Structure formats: C-alpha cells, structure tokens
C-alpha cells in the first residue's frame, strides 16, 4: 500500500534511517547535476514534505528530539508557499539565510549523532563546510551509499528516456567541434587533462544537443568529460541515443552508458581534472580522488562562452521574441476583453496564453510554469497556480502574468502587470497603485538606458532599478535581472543583477558583451497586489565619442505593450516619456505585421505616444 500522507512518509524515512544506523538526513531540492529545475524522479523533498518550490532543503532527525525533529528551509520568496504546502505539525519552518539545514542539525542533533547526506545531491564545497560545522558539535556527516528516501519512495518515477535531439547549427552558431577545441585550448593553458561537464545545460551547449527530460528546460540527462585533445565522452542512457545523434556527434565523442560515469571517473588515475564547484557534486570529486586523479576546482569552461551569445544566437532570440511578443499581445487583448466580466480564472488565463503561443508550431514548451496571479497572489513573486490555489480574476484589480516559451531559436521570459477594469468601465486603479507601478517603470527604464564601463558587475547596476522605490520607502525582495539561455534554461548564470551580498550568487560577475539578462524590477504589497515589468535585454558595445575605455549598454529584445492605465505620467521625466514613446513605436512596428482586426486596433491604441 502506497504511503499517501506526509506523516507516513516521514515515519517510513525515520525507520529506514534507524535501520542504517543513521540519526538524521539532509534532503535538498537537487539532482545529480545541481539543476534548478529537476525531473520528477529527483523530487525527493517534494515527496517527503509537500513543498513545490524550486529552491529549498529539509532536515529530518530520527529520534525523539526536542521540537518537531524535522524542518524545511526556504528563502523569502517561498515564505507563504511553504506554510500552505507543508504541514507545520510535522516540519518546523526556517528562513534562509538566517539559518540552514546544516546549522539547524548542529543545533538540534545530539553529540555523537550520525547524519546522512547523498553526495550526488550536494556540492563538494557544501559537504566540506557542513562536515566541519557538524564535527565542531561532535556530529558526524556520513555520505550514504544509496539515498534512504529512494528506499521508502514506493512509487518513485523512473528518469525520462526521451530521445536526445540534435540542436541545429544554424541556431547554435558554432559547431560542437569548435566548442570542444576551444575548451581543449583552455585545458592545455591551465595544465589540465580534462574537465567534468556535469551541468545539463553545459552538456547540451558543448555538444549542440537538446532533450525533453526536464519540464521547461530542453536538456537530456547526461554527463560529459571533455579532454585536452578536443575529444569528449558522453555518458547517456543508450535508449536515448538515435542514429541521428550518433552521426551528429561523430567519432570524436565516445558514447558510454550513463551508469558507467562513476567508474569512468575512477579510470583517470594521475590526471588533473577540472570540476566546477557549483555544478559538480561531491560524489564526482570523491570518485576522482578515489581513483587516483586530482580534482581541480575550476569554473566549468562552457559557462562564459555559453553566457556570451554569438550572432546566430542573438538573431535567433530576436526572431523568437517577435513571435512570442505577438502571442502575448493577443493574450493581453483577450484579457482586456474577457477578464472584466469576472468569468476568467488564473488557470483559464494561463491556458489561454499557452494556446496563443501554440499557434506557432515552433513552441516546444513553456520556459517555466506561468505565474498567473490575481489580487493578493500577485504579491507572491514566485506564485504558481494550481487547482487548489486557483481563484477568479476580479474586475477592478491588478493582474500579474510572468511567462515564457521555449523555441528552437530562443528562450523567452516576459512579465506584464495590467489593470483589469469593470464591465461598466468605471473601475480605476487607486493613486498608490499608479505611484508604485510608475516607480517600477522608472527603474525598468533606468536599466534599459544604462551605459556602463566594461568590468561593471550586476551588483553595481542593481541600484538603478530600485532608486525610485527607495525614495518612497519601499523595495522588492528578489533580484532585478537573471541570465537567460539560448533554447536552454530560462535562468542561466553566471550573470545576475541583484543586491550584492546576502547569498546572491552572480552579482560579482562582470556583465559582458553578448550576455542576455532580464530587466524586472517590481513591488509587492502583501495580501493585496503585486507589480513587475519584465523585458529581456542583450548586452552590447556602446560607441561614445571621446570615451576613455570600453563602454556597454543594453538592447531591449522584448516588445509587447506596457499597460498605460497604471502609469502616473506626472512622475515621468521628459526623457522617460521619450523612452516610452520610442519603445512603443518599435513595438508597433514589430507586432503590426503579425496582427489583424480587433487585436491590431487594440495594440495600436496601447502604443500611441504619450
């Protein structure tokens, strides 16, 4: 009989830990590749606790300890969600970065306790830090041979065996052989014999391969080892390999079973092998060292080349954005007509948006689960609607939709916040809502128009987006911008625009020519409404007469009308109004050839100059 309650699952895990001589276990949201989005087979924390977010961890103690003996750890994005999804009688709610799973265990487990962790789900850096932290309290961190959660998860899904797909070189802009040659050159310069490529999007990029193994991210479950002679080994389930893939990879890429990966690491005796501290799990380092190799902590050599898009990737993204922009505009028109009746819900709106995107036969998937958020739900930056949370979209309210599509030529991500009027046309936003929306807009424009010297990082740009909100004594808790892949992950590092410090990875990364970023400041009033305006941008060189050094700026890539109903024009400067007019003139030029009838007329009205 399957264990349906989380209480039963927690009890079964504790029994399994006891059987193995363990006093506790740390269970993160992670897979063997340290992915942000994971396959259903790896959703161990969701199975155990019920939490459905994409970032977090949990800890379980096996004995009768003071308190609940189990806890979940999430950051401010998920404070409300975790309380809705996780039983507070079973798990203590803990906020990150104030604490962490390892800190909680150190404070709650008794001296002499043995705490398990799965070395395939944690980085070597984390394992080293956690082991030292616990050892100081007389607690031992133990790498388990197999995951105890898997032993009690009776209906655990199998990993996907969907076929791997070749990514067309006209979209990639560079052959796999050229990419591997550049990596080999780097390896030789660093006096390394090879590099473990563990991140799924890195494997996909290096080999020009895509897949359908992870929802919303077109990657295939595989590992790769790149060698200093330009060859590579791909570790992948043989059921996923097609004749087309074999022809594409050629003789320089050796195909091996995914299950052979760990033993292959043990075959590298005497070699110096690069392992990325962020994407390489502890088990990789352990296997290399056990086999006599030297694991050298180095950033994955695909990361910066993947982040700096080549001309083919840049043009492909523009093409995808034009197509996607037309679909989103049709949706916004539909929303404008139908939502004021009160007959639409968050789920029906999300379904309609997907239907408009699917009118293009090039849509391969959404790039993430659509954030279709009405009323107070819009105040949750990472809200995800389901059958339980779904509500009607009320007339006379703010509605926020953050969504994106995966196309062979590009990955899109756009947020529009709109005013839902009433059937009689009398409902209007209040002054506070217009003030907050306009301050968010001013910050968005500041990022869009930013010009900065080469070497500037995302932490240095972030204040441009927040300054107008700060003047009103308000702020937002998420970053201002993230990197975006090319028919890959919608959240792609290493670049990020966010407040420096506070665990915000990527803020110290230099913003480089060719990098895609989102531009998405926001404001959220708990329980009432939320605002976010998001376009994607491309980092490009700026030619400035008399400039001392190299300067960069952003090309806006997303063109969809921004809701003018929520704008207080008195707060905008002449220059900001000019940006608005230029942006909407460009929007009209891009979208008009793709639209017709009432949708075209509505779009043109939305794009009229201030």
DSSP state, residue 413:
-
Beta carbons of 370 and 382 less than 8 angstroms apart: no
What share of the chain in percent tops pLDDT 70? 98
CATH of domain 308-429+436-561+590-606: 3.90.230.10
What share of the chain in percent tops pLDDT 90? 91
Q: Is 528 exposed, middle or buried (0-12, 13-18, 19+ CB in 10 A)?
A: middle
Task: Note the pLDDT tens digit of each residue in 321-375.
Answer: 999 999 999 999 999 999 999 999 999 999 999 999 999 999 999 999 999 999 9
Task: Note the pLDDT tens digit of each residue in 174-209.
Answer: 999 999 999 999 999 999 999 999 999 999 999 999
pLDDT of 64 reads 53
Tokens at 184, concatenated: 């080999």
Task: Note the pLDDT tens digit of each residue in 520-531.
Answer: 999 999 999 999
Q: Where are the domains of the chain?
A: 6-152, 165-305, 308-429+436-561+590-606
Dihedral over alpha carbons 489, 493, 499, 500 (to 10 degrees): 160
Beta carbons of 27 and 116 less than 8 angstroms apart: no
Q: Is 396 exposed, middle or buried (0-12, 13-18, 19+ CB in 10 A)?
A: middle
Nearest residue to 322 via CA among 578, 595, 608: 595
Alpha-carbon distance of 90 to 83, in angstroms, equals 12
Alpha-carbon distance of 561 to 332, in angstroms, equals 9
Q: Which of 1-5, 115-119, 450-454, 493-497 has the lowest average pLDDT? A: 1-5
523 Cβ neighbours under 8 A, 6+ residues apart = 436, 437, 439, 440, 469, 474, 476, 530, 531, 532
Q: Which of 87-96, 534-543, 564-573 has the lowest average pLDDT? A: 87-96
- The 3-state secondary structure of 487-552 reads CCCCCEEEEEECCCCCCCCCCCCECCCCEEEEECCEEEECCCEEEECEEEEEEEEECCCCCCCCEE
More confident residue, 278 or 592: 592
pLDDT of 362 reads 97
Question: Is CATH 3.30.1130.10 the classification given to domain 6-152?
Answer: no
Q: Using DSSP, state whether 219 is helix, strand or coil.
A: coil
- pLDDT above 60 (res 1): no
Beta carbons of 210 and 220 less than 8 angstroms apart: yes
Listed in order, strand segments (DSSP E) in 259-404 are 272-275, 294-297, 365-366, 371-374, 397-403
Q: Which of 7-21, 56-70, 360-374, 410-424 has the lowest average pLDDT? A: 56-70
Which residues make beta-bridge pairs with 85?
none
- pLDDT above 80 (res 453): yes
Alpha-carbon distance of 140 to 527, in angstroms, equals 43
- pLDDT above 70 (res 2): no
CA atoms within 13 A on the CB side of 260: 14
Beta carbons of 82 and 57 less than 8 angstroms apart: no
pLDDT of 77 reads 76
CATH of domain 165-305: 3.40.350.10
Dihedral over alpha carbons 17, 18, 24, 30 (to 10 degrees): 0
Task: Note the pLDDT tens digit of each residue in 247-302.
Answer: 999 999 999 999 999 999 999 999 999 999 999 999 999 999 999 999 999 999 99
Q: Which of 53-62, 265-274, 413-422 has the lowest average pLDDT? A: 53-62
Instruction: Give the confidence band of 214 by pLDDT, cuts at 50, 70, 90.
Output: very high
- pLDDT above 70 (res 505): no
Alpha-carbon distance of 28 to 74, in angstroms, equals 11
Is 308-429+436-561+590-606 the same fold as 165-305?
no
pLDDT of 78 reads 82
pLDDT of 212 reads 96
pLDDT of 67 reads 55
Q: Which of 69-78, 343-352, 484-493 has the lowest average pLDDT? A: 69-78
**105-115: average pLDDT:** 94
């Amino acid at each position: 009989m399957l264990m349906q309650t989380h209480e039963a699952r927690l009890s079964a895990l504790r029994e399994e830990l006891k059987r193995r001589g363990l006093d506790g276990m740390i269970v993160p949201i992670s897979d063997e590749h340290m992915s942000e989005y994971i396959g259903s087979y790896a959703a161990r924390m969701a199975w155990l606790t019920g939490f459905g977010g994409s970032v977090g961890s949990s800890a379980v103690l096996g004995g009768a300890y003071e308190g609940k003996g189990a806890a979940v750890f999430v950051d401010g994005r998920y404070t409300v969600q975790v309380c809705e999804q996780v039983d507070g009688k079973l798990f203590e709610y803990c906020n990150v970065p104030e604490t962490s799973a390892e800190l909680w265990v150190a404070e709650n487990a008794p001296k002499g306790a043995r705490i398990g962790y799965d070395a395939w789900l944690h980085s070597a850096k984390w394992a080293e830090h956690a082991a030292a932290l616990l050892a100081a309290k007389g607690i031992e961190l133990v790498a388990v041979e197999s995951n105890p959660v898997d032993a009690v998860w009776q209906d655990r899904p199998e990993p996907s065996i969907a076929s791997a797909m070749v990514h067309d070189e006209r979209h990639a802009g560079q052959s796999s052989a050229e990419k591997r040659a550049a990596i080999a050159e780097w390896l030789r310069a660093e006096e390394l014999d090879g590099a473990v490529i563990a991140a799924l999007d890195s494997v996909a990029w290096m080999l020009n391969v895509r897949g359908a193994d992870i929802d919303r991210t077109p990657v295939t479950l595989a590992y790769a080892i790149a060698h200093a002679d330009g060859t590579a080994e791909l570790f992948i389930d043989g059921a996923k390999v097609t004749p087309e893939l074999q022809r594409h990879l050629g003789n320089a890429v050796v195909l091996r079973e995914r299950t052979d990966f760990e033993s292959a690491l043990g075959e590298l005796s005497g070699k110096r092998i690069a392992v990325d501290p962020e994407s390489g799990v502890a088990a990789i380092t352990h296997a290399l060292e056990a086999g006599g190799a030297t694991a050298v902590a180095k950033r994955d050599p695909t990361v910066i080349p993947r982040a700096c898009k080549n001309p083919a990737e840049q043009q492909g993204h523009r093409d995808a954005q034009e197509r996607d922009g037309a679909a989103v505009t049709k949706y916004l028109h539909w929303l404008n007509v139908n939502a004021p009746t009160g007959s639409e819900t968050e789920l029906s709106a999300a379904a309609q948006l997907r239907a408009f995107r699917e009118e293009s036969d090039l849509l391969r998937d959404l790039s993430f689960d659509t954030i279709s958020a009405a009323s107070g739900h819009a105040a949750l930056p990472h809200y995800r609607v389901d059958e339980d949370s779904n509500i009607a979209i009320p007339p006379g309210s703010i509605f926020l939709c953050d969504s994106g599509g995966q196309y062979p030529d590009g990955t899109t991500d756009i947020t529009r916040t709109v005013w839902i009027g009433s059937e009689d046309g009398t409902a209007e936003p209040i002054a506070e809502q217009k003030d907050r929306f306009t301050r968010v807009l001013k910050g968005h424009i500041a990022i869009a128009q930013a010009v900065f010297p080469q070497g500037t990082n995302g932490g240095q740009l972030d204040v441009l987006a927040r300054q107008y909100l700060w003047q009103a004594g308000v702020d937002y808790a998420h970053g201002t911008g993230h990197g975006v892949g090319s028919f890959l992950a919608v959240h792609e590092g290493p670049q990020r625009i966010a407040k420096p410090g506070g665990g915000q990875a990527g803020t110290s990364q230099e913003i480089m020519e060719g990098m895609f970023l989102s531009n998405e400041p926001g404001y959220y009033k708990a329980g009432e409404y939320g605002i976010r305006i998001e376009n994607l941008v491309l980092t490009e060189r700026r030619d400035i007469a008399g400039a001392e050094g190299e300067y960069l700026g952003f090309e806006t890539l997303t063109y969809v009308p921004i809701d003018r109903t929520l704008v207080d024009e008195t707060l905008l400067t002449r220059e900001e109004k000019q940006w608005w007019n230029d942006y909407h003139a460009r929007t009209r030029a891009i979208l008009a050839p793709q639209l017709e009838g009432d949708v075209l007329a509505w779009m043109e009205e939305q794009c009229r100059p201030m």
